Amino acid sequence: MPSALQTELRQRKPFQSAAHEAVVGLMRTADLIRRHATAVVEPHGITLQQFNVLRILRGAGDAGLPTLEVAERMIEQTPGVTRLLDRLESKELVRRQRCPKDRRQHLCWITAKGLALLEKIDMLATRAPEESMKGLRHKDRVTFIRLMDAIRAAHQ
């Protein structure tokens, strides 16, 4: 009997292994959640990665963060964080300045306009994870978190 994922993908052959099915299922689920989250932020003229950067910089407060630290904190790692910050700066959502102690480094801050944008998105963004996880009970969500932690830990 085919699995739910096989049926969803209209796949006739069984997966090569449970690991293969788990990875495909995780990727399919991540895509679904990403599409839901994109629907929240795109009407405000930003991408999910830009939203992530704005939230990181809001959390940094008045101290700001070096560009490389912003990149390290991102949910999805991207080699193009400088271009991402360029786009946010052109929209006046962030500001950057050379670090006085290390001229090779730039410090980044969220602007008042960036904070105002996040305030508009916050209520919808808070509900999105609940909506995305509606198929799992609280206990199952906690187990799911632990399982994902174990996978990431094994790759570090």
- The whole-number pLDDT of residue 78 equals 83
**pLDDT at position 23 over 90:** yes
Contact 106, 89 (CB under 8 A): no
The secondary structure element, H or E, covering residue 96 is strand 94-98
- The whole-number pLDDT of residue 17 equals 93
What does the block give as tokens for 154? 């094994």
3-state DSSP assignment of residue 141: helix
Give residue 1's pLDDT band: very low, low, confident or very high (50, 70, 90).
confident
**pLDDT at position 140 over 90:** yes
The phi and psi torsions of 95 (rounded to 5 degrees) equal -130, 150
The 10s digit of each residue's pLDDT in 27-86 is: 999 999 999 999 999 999 999 999 999 999 999 999 899 999 999 999 998 888 999 999
Radius of gyration of the chain (CA): 19
Q: Report d(CA 19, CA 21) in Å as an integer.
A: 5
**pLDDT at position 102 over 80:** no
Q: How many CA atoms lie within 13 A of 103 on its CB side?
A: 0
Give residue 126's pLDDT band: very low, low, confident or very high (50, 70, 90).
confident
Residue extents of the structural domains in the chain: 44-129
What is 67-97 written as a DSSP string?
HHHHHHH-SS--TTHHHHHHHHHHTTSEEEE
The fold adopted by the segment(s) 44-129 is: Arc Repressor Mutant, subunit A (1.10.10)
- The whole-number pLDDT of residue 67 equals 92
Q: Report d(CA 24, CA 107) in Å as an integer.
A: 38
